Amino acid sequence: MKKNVKMFFVVLTTLVIVAGLTFAGCDNFANDLLVNDAADADNARNVTVTSNRTGTTNGWDWEYWQSSSGVRNGTMTVNNNGTFSARWEASAGTRGNFLARVGKRFNNQNHSQVGQITVTYTASNFNPGNRNNYLSVYGWVMGSPLIEYYIVESWGDYRPPGASSAGTFNGYDLYRTTVNGPHVQGSGNFTQYWAVRQSKRTSGTIDVSAIFNEWNRRWGGMNSNLREVMLKVEGWEAGSNGTYNITAYTLRYGNTTLGGSGSTTTPPANNNPPANNNPPANNNPPASNNGVTTVTAQSMSKGGQYTGNISSPFNGVRLYANDDRISYNQYFANNRHTFTVRGRSTNNNTAQVQLRVNGSAVGTLSFAGTTVRDQSITVSHNQGGRTVSVELRCINDNNTWDVDIQHLEIRAAN
């Protein structure tokens, strides 16, 4: 069924200026980026830190920072699959500031060059305490204006940024504030972009690129170099004691996946199989003999004339017509796997999706009716030891149905 699109653009020009804002981004918080601690490369082991420090673990970049006074018993443990835990206590009568964050630094690339970015996480044993604590995706965009951004998922008593919303997008209130204080390039005026959930949550998938694009549509500035994308926990001011345990964390950007089911996949930069047909360095292949990998539809590359994201009945992708498709690159340790697609038809007719591995059709999955369900197929693809494309393509469309896809799971088969 061809998609009928009507685009309504509402240009919101509300600019929220918060002079002298003392939220963590303009005050003690920005100082964490000015600390000149040596970075550690703990490439294959879990790391526990209790003092200001940056590092890299199994492809994940991380940072621990606390203010010079006002914080007691702060600690962060980073696991080699990107999950992490943190706890701290803020002393009474102080404005102590604590943060722990894990993600990826991109240096000299804008977010379009990085590719589609999504974060999927679960925060278990979640206790943000009182006062000013929150969980967010965080980073900086190094342009003019200099932008510090927050995508806030949950918080304690205080809901940031304490300003009037400039609009909403996909369940988030949007804000733009201006701050004068320390920042990554020194000190002075800089801009903050905020997306704060209208209701708290402690697990889910964040379409980071979609929020970036919405900010850029409203206010511009997001096409400059993206410094990082980090999942961050933070607390500040007296009484902001808290504990966080991020028990599941997947960061996807372009054709690269960090995390997931305890594994890291980093395809070669040119998206072709490595010359020696071995997985990339430091790779723990997710589709190995006993591994399972889950890839969200929204994190895959989109092709075809009509393919687009959806937010209901789940965050996913809709294929509207023949040859609409989504794809990504996957390393396979062996030659036989079970592929499970979660999806549905948009009406009572049966929708069909063709599975392709390295360009070859290996099977078809059918979805009858609007109930969301898992459909599986086990195939021998003979791509063991290689990184190749995996594609889901709409076929046999007769203009009477569309198909929604939430995610793809792959597991080894006997």
Give the bridge partners for 401, in sequence order. none
Cα radius of gyration (the chain):
22
Topology at the third CATH level for domain 24-252 = Jelly Rolls (2.60.120)
Please report the pLDDT score of residue 190 as a whole number: 97
Q: Give the pair of three-digit tokens for residue 305.
A: 């004339």
Answer with the residue of higher pLDDT: 32 or 189. 189
Residue 181 pLDDT class (50, 70, 90 cuts): confident
Residue 123 CA, chain-centre distance (Å), reads 14
Equal CATH topology for 24-252 and 273-412: yes
* Domain residue extents for the chain: 24-252, 273-412
Strands 263-265 and 172-183: unpaired
C-beta of residue 19 within 8 angstroms of C-beta of residue 177: no
pLDDT digits (tens, 9 = 90+) for 314-362: 989 999 989 999 999 888 888 999 999 999 999 999 999 999 999 999 9
Question: 86 to each of 102, 129, 160, 161, 366, how far by Cα in Å?
Answer: 11, 13, 21, 23, 44
Q: Which residue of the set 63, 234, 391, 409 is catalytic? A: 234
Tell me the C-alpha distance between 373 and 319, whole Å: 16
Active site residue 214: no
Q: Which residue of the set 63, 89, 148, 237 is catalytic? A: 148
Q: Identify the helix (H) or strand (E) that includes residue 114.
A: helix 111-114
**Residue 31 above 60 pLDDT?**
no
DSSP state of 113: H
Phi/psi at 291 (5° precision): -95, 160
Q: Give the pair of three-digit tokens for residue 350.
A: 């049966």
Q: How many CB atoms lie within 10 A of CB 272?
A: 12
Please report the pLDDT score of residue 73 as a whole number: 74
Please report the pLDDT score of residue 240 as a whole number: 59
CATH superfamily of 273-412: Galactose-binding domain-like (2.60.120.260)
Phi/psi at 299 (5° precision): -85, -10
Active site residue 234: yes
Please report the pLDDT score of residue 260 as a whole number: 64
Candidate from 61-65, 155-159, 262-266, 403-407 with smallest mean pLDDT? 262-266
Tell me the C-alpha distance between 216 and 214, whole Å: 5
Q: What value does the mean pLDDT of the chain take?
A: 80
Torsion, Cα 290 116 205 7, to 10 degrees, reads -140
Residue 24 pLDDT class (50, 70, 90 cuts): very low
Name, in order, each residue with C-beta under 8 angstroms of 6's C-beta and a sequence gap of 6 or more.
none
pLDDT digits (tens, 9 = 90+) for 133-161: 889 999 999 999 999 999 999 988 788 89
Q: How many CB atoms lie within 10 A of CB 200?
A: 16
**Residue 28 above 80 pLDDT?**
no
Peptide bond into 161 cis (omega under 30): yes
Q: Give the pair of three-digit tokens for residue 56.
A: 């890299």
Peptide bond into 268 cis (omega under 30): no
DSSP state of 111: H
C-beta of residue 177 within 8 angstroms of C-beta of residue 17: yes
* pLDDT above 90 as % of the chain: 49
Q: How many helices and strands, by DSSP H and E, does the chain display?
A: 2, 30
C-beta of residue 153 within 8 angstroms of C-beta of residue 205: no
Measuring CA to CA, which residue among 411, 363, 358 is closest to residue 389? 358
